Structure 1
Amino acid sequence: MREWWRDAVIYQIYPRSFQDDSGNGIGDLPGITRRLDHVANLGVDAIWLSPFFTSPDKDMGYDVSDYTSVNPLFGTIEDFDALIARAHELGLKVIIDQVLSHTSDQHAWFQESRQDKTNDKADWYVWADPKRDGTAPTNWISVFGGSAWMFDARRKQYFLHNFLTSQPDLNFHNTEVVDALLEAMDFWLKRGVDGFRLDTVNFYVHDQELRNNPVAKYKEFPGHPYGAQRHVYSKSRPENIDVLRRLRALMDKYDDRMLIGEVGDDGFRQVELMGEYTAGNDKLHMAYSFAMLSHDHSPEHFKRCIQGFMDEAPDGWPCWSLSNHDVNRHVTRWAPTPEFEDTVAKQAINMLISFPGTLGVYQGEELGQTETDIEFHELTDLGYVDFWPDNKGRDGCRTPMVWDESQPNAGFSTGDTWLPVKAPQAARAVAGQEGDNSSVLGAYRAAFAYRKSRIELTQGETTFPKLPKPLLAVCRTHEGTSLTGVFNLSNKAKSVRLGEGATLTGPTTGEVVKGRLKLPPFGYAYVETKGDDAPFA
């Protein structure tokens, strides 16, 4: 029987920005539960909840201080149980984040570990002595800039933090650490979650020899210290595979559960890791990377990502997303001017459904949501303060979901919101698009319905017919029928001659005139052919 996750569309919910029912300006679990009908009506199959665990929120929940309790900001464990029950009632699977590579420095494990070098958890984190001159053990850089090592006066040692200094890295070379994390995951499996999204899954294991990272190749300094190194020793270590196998063994004790890992690495290496981590049946069920979360909107880029994965892991499984809570929204990244924002949004989802694998969408995408312009005094994403204004951080994609423009804060909350709801975002509210098939929301619903209706788009073999730039063609073939998505990735009209047996089908903004498929700026179409018929002449 085919696993549910292979054909799924997963909708990411950022809890603090989805719906606030308590009135404190921060989204919560009861709010999510109340809005699940909207998610189900999109035609998606699962939700992924970003962290809602107890946390001091230095990194918005990605600094966990208790893996098995709910942050009171979001509600109670009973609220979570109610959310699970309602989601399952609506036919939605529930996937929750697991931030395993590091904890908060407020976690009881770290509080004990930092006391001395002999306590029961002394080796649960990555500790190392200073060099003779007192400097850090290695040249490793934090993702947020500066050294990845922080000196602790009590132990007279440095601890590793790949992210904020308040996010110490766990020591995965210690089997007790992995045992404890598996126990925490089992807690949620027993409560009925259908899977886990594993944050920074390639960061788990560090090089025990503490070797320095080599310098990256660049003509000019990349502007962020992290980009100046090849991170071959601080992450993506071969030993990571053994940890993934232990995680998979836990999942295999339950029916119909899944693991999806977030892979972040240098350039194309992240696509290779997606393959390595999903090959075979003993590691992740699937993986996604930041490969398509970039500003690159070229046919070559999309083909290289997909073909690269298929070459690396023909028996693996990818998940492709265009936006999430860590990057600028793709409408803002790809639309050359505001007049093209809706057009780009509609093309993007119709392009995404042509890709092989599982699909991920981020809350607000279905509204064509754009990046919010955050001013310095509005910043909450502390990891990027030092990079302002060249890098404004991640707040701009995390602003609240908009439900009704006529309501305070567009229906998100009756209180002062943790991030602002501004007019350009409020104008895209759900209520204003509901019932309008020509809206971005209508395009998303139609795209998901079309994908479900065509087995070629979920189980078909994938090839890339050659077309001149800036046209991208993705062909999906199943049992003698081919569907080829054609996408004009430019703001100029383009056309291509169709093959003799080709017919237009499904969602489209194109038209056929005298045998040529004409596509407007950022236009798209699906072409159907049978047998050996070619889609293009």
Structure 2
Amino acid sequence: MTEHLQNWWRGGVIYQVYPRSFFDSNGDGVGDLAGVLHKLDYIASLKVDAIWLSPFFTSPMKDFGYDVADYRDVDPLFGTLDDFDRLIAAAHERGLKILIDQVLNHSSDQHAWFKESRSSRDNPKADWYVWADAKPDGTVPNNWLSVFGGSAWTWDSRRKQYYLHNFLSSQPDLNFHCEAVQQQVLDDMEFWLQRGVDGFRLDAANFYFHDKQLRDNPPNTQVREGSIGVRVDNPYAYQCHVYDKTQPENIGFLRRLRALLERYPGSATVAEIGCDDSLKTMAAYTSGGDTLHMAYSFDLLTEQCSPAYIRHTVESIERELADGWSCWSMGNHDVVRVMSRWALDGRPDPARGRMLMALLLSLRGSVCLYQGEELGLTEAELRYEDLVDPYGINFWPEFKGRDGCRTPMPWVSEATHAGFTGSQPWLPVDDSHRSLSVAAQEVDPDSMLNTYRRFIDWRGRQPLLIEGDIRMLYDDEALLVFERRLGDQAWLCMFNMSSAERRYSLPVTVEPLVGVPGSLAEISAEGVRLPAHGFGYARIVGQACGS
């Protein structure tokens, strides 16, 4: 296997599929693995490198698959192991890699491991989960909080102890201080590697270990957005999460995981990092060539989107990264869709969507795209009675949860439920999405969908964007300009993040880069004219940019 094939993930584009909302093949209202297989040619047409499948494992679905009851089987809602095997084979035939979600921090309380662990204090799996005695007055062991609200501890009357859950009470945390737990999850991951998966997306990868002494977290005096669960209306934001996650022991386990993947050349990991200093943690978790292949944080998944903020985020990770590798994302199944979240004055604009696409795909690192971004889908507006996400139900109305970004993909505008299913879908289709359906955009050469296809295809043929260095050069209230450089080639990458035309005086001699899909920039010796939400690229001639 060539080095290129083994390192496909460096600069690769990964398309996230949320299976229950992608396509329903059997008419039960929920998307499934056969539905992904049915639409595999569509995914291949996007020219992406890999598919990240959100969880499809056996689960009671209290958190829609992120509460796993069997790590080695497919939930009947999504199909069978045979369906999965067919999907793997068909994806590989099309040159697509498959990454599957691994939810290792916690299992479902319906998992056989937890049922055994809670049965007594001396059973073989008694220490597979995090158990602690009550304080003398019967209260919880410490002040740790759940991301989803309330204490991170729940009392179990059988063991007469509390168990830890960083998320829902039905998602008890596995005890990674237990060697048998580490070995078991590695064995379960190898089960999927042997079936042909090309790697894993690691959910909440910095949560695996906790402080053995169960020390209280200190208060957070500088509440800010940007960490998983950190919202000013969530009490989780008011602690510095020093002891409940991001522990030093995590690095040792990640090295064991990397050693496993090294036995399967070409496989890769991409981890979700959510903590108080996520960029520093990303760097630590991807450095040295013996831990994670790549990681992403929530820093571009917040409401902040100014040129200055993006510059600060990129420069911060570049300072820390050393030989590590980042993965960038502006949307996923946990946050408001980027077309709504980063809209100006609350008005989503297709031109802005194209500019954000180009910006994301021009950063140094790999990229995750969430299904529907290529259509320009906005956040769906749901009634309270339509909600199914426990996170949103707990914090309504200040926070509406994650259902609005998880509604079904619109395939055919005029079809029942926009062609997603023939029966009542698990979440309603937003009527505003019908006009953005795949079928409607297929026939429009200038649609968001076709722009995405052309741009990703073009990017894949630009080694400078895949492998080159990055250096931020300029930002103001509207413009973001940076340099990408590989060897003796260098480009200026320019993005107008405002709703008004802007001009930029070139600091160096350039020549226009022609044939960039979606770019409407006008570049001349006098400077660059960028239309509202416009972007452009120019090749630097003869010298490097100044600071």
TM-score (norm 2): 0.95
Q: CA deviation at 1:389?
A: 0.9
Is the CA contact (8 Å cut-off) linking 2:340 and 2:348 kept in structure 1? no
Counterpart for residue 251 of structure 2: 241
Partner deviation per Cα, 1:371-413 (whole Å, 9 max, x = no partner) = 0001100001013312101100000000001111011111110
Q: Which residue of 1 aligns with 2:176?
A: 172
1:31-72 C-alpha deviation (Å, 9 max, x unpaired): 100101111111100000000000000000000000000000
- Equivalent of residue 342 in structure 1, options 343, 350, 360: 350
Residue 532 (structure 2) pairs with residue 524 (structure 1):
no
Residue of structure 1 equivalent to 2:274: 264
1:222 corresponds to: 232
Name the amino acid aligned to 2:235.
P
Deviation per CA, 1:166-185: give whole Å up to 9, x if none: 00000000000011101110
In structure 2, the residue matched to 1:96 is 100
* Partner-residue secondary structure (3-state), 1:360: strand
The answer as to whether partners of 1:213 and 1:230 remain within 8 angstroms in 2 is: yes
| Structure 2 counterparts to residues 446-485 of structure 1, below 5 A | 446-485=454-493
Write the distance in 1 (CA, Å) between the matches of 2:385 and 2:40. 33
SS of residue paired to 2:127 = coil
Structure 1 unaligned regions, length at least 5: none
Runs (4+) of structure 1 exceeding 3 A deviation are 218-221, 337-340, 533-536
Output the CA distance in 2 between the equivalents of 1:211 and 1:433: 54
Deviation of the 1:459 alpha carbon: 1.2
The counterpart of 2:45, out of the listed 34, 41, 45, is 41
Q: Which residue identity lines up with residue 296 of structure 1 in the other structure?
A: Q
**1:111 is aligned to 2:119:** no
1:381 correspondence with 2:402 = no
Q: Distance in 2 between matches of 1:219 and 1:496?
A: 36
Name the counterpart of 2:60.
56
- State whether residues 57 and 70 of structure 2, in contact with CA within 8 Å, keep that contact through their aligned partners in structure 1: yes
Task: Using the TM superposition, give the Cα deviation of residue 117 of structure 1 relative to its aligned residue in structure 2, in angstroms.
Answer: 0.3
Structure-1 residue corresponding to 2:325: 317
Matched, 1:443 2:451: yes
Contact 1:502 1:533 in 2 (8 A): no
Partner of 1:359: 367
1:355 aligned partner, one-letter code: L
Contact 1:331 1:341 in 2 (8 A): yes
How many angstroms does 1:468 deviate by?
A: 3.2
Pick closer, same or farther for the CA change 1:124–1:455 going to 2, 3 Å: same
The amino acid that maps onto 1:228 is: Y
Secondary structure of 1:526's counterpart equals: strand
Distance 1:428 1:337, change over 3 A: farther
Structure 1 counterpart of 2:405 = 397
The aligned amino acid for 1:238 is P
Q: In structure 2, how many angstroms separate the alpha carbons of the residues matched to 1:341 and 1:372?
A: 16
The answer to whether structure 1 residue 205 and structure 2 residue 209 are counterparts is yes
1:7 Cα deviation from its structure 2 partner: 2.3
Q: Distance in 2 between matches of 1:403 and 1:27?
A: 13
Name the structure 1 match of 2:86: 82
Counterpart for residue 331 of structure 1 = 339
CA distance in 1, matches of 2:431, 2:546: 44
Aligned equivalents of 1:517, 1:47: Cα separation in 2: 37
Residue 509 (structure 1) aligns with: 520
Q: Does the 8 Å contact 1:457/1:483 carry over to 2?
A: no
Separation in 1 of the partners of 2:303 and 2:17?
23
1:160 and 2:171 correspond: no
SS in 2 for 1:120: coil
Distance 2:41 2:411 in 1: 13
Whether contact under 8 Å (1:403, 1:411) holds in the other structure is yes
**Does the 8 Å contact 1:502/1:535 carry over to 2?**
no
Contact 1:433 1:440 in 2 (8 A): yes
Correspondence for 2:73 among 69, 73, 88: 69
The offset of 1:300, in angstroms, is 1.9
Q: Pick closer, same or farther for the CA change 1:187–1:314 going to 2, 3 Å.
A: same
- Report deviation, 1:340: 4.3
**Distance in 1 (alpha carbons) for counterparts of 2:319 and 2:149:** 34
* Counterpart selection for 1:255 from 257, 265, 270: 265
Tell me which of 142, 145, 151 is aligned to 2:149: 145
1:73 & 1:119 partners in 2: Cα distance?
32
Identity of aligned residues (%): 49
Residue matched to 2:28: 24
Q: Give the AA of the match of 1:223.
A: D
Q: Is the 8 A contact 2:480 2:495 kept in 1?
A: yes
Q: 1:273 aligns with which of 259, 281, 288?
A: 281
SS of the residue 1:450 aligns to: helix
Name the CA distance, whole Å, in 1 between partners of 2:114 and 2:468: 48
Cα drift, residue 284 of structure 1: 0.4
1:204-236 residue CA offsets vs partner (Å, 9 max, x unmatched): 000000000000014899321100100010000
Query: 1:290-340 deviations in whole A, cap 9, x for unaligned?
Result: 111111111122222222222112100000000000000011011125654
CA–CA distance in structure 2, aligned partners of residues 398 and 274 of structure 1: 26
Distance of aligned partners of 1:530 and 1:245 in 2 relative to their CA distance in 1, 3 Å threshold: same
Post-superposition Cα deviations, 1:80-107, rounded to whole Å, max 9, x if no partner, equal 0000011001110000000000000000
Cα distance between partner residues in 2 of 1:91 and 1:234: 40
- Give the Å deviation of 1:341: 2.2
Q: Which amino acid aligns with 1:107?
A: H
- Describe the SS at the equivalent of 1:246: helix
Partner of 2:186: 182
Q: Which residue of 1 aligns with 2:228?
A: none
The residue identity in structure 2 corresponding to 1:240 is N
> Partner letter of residue 8 of structure 2?
W
Q: Which amino acid is the alignment partner of residue 118 of structure 1?
A: D
What one-letter code is carried by the residue in structure 1 that aligns with 2:540? T
- Distance in 1, matches of 2:187 and 2:476, equals 53
1:232 counterpart residue number? 242
Aligned twin of 2:429 = 421
Please tell me whether the aligned partners of residues 473 and 481 of structure 2 are also in contact (alpha carbons under 8 angstroms).
Answer: yes
1:12 aligns with 2:16: yes
The change in CA–CA distance for 1:26 and 1:535 in structure 2 (over 3 A counts) is farther
Aligned-pair Cα RMSD in Å? 1.6
Cα separation, 2, equivalents of 1:257 and 1:186: 11
Does the CA-based 8 Å contact 2:11-2:366 persist in structure 1? yes
Give per-residue Cα distances to partners, 1:431-462, cap 9 Å, x unaligned. Answer: 11114231111221121122112111111111
> Could you tell me how far 1:482 is from its partner in structure 2?
1.2
Deviation by residue 1:253-294 (Cα, 9 ceiling, x = unmatched):
11111111110112xx11111000000111101101111111
CA distance in 1, matches of 2:12, 2:538: 23
Distance in 2 (CA, whole Å) between partners of 1:534 and 1:91 is 38
**Aligned partners of 1:368 and 1:222: how far apart in 2?**
28
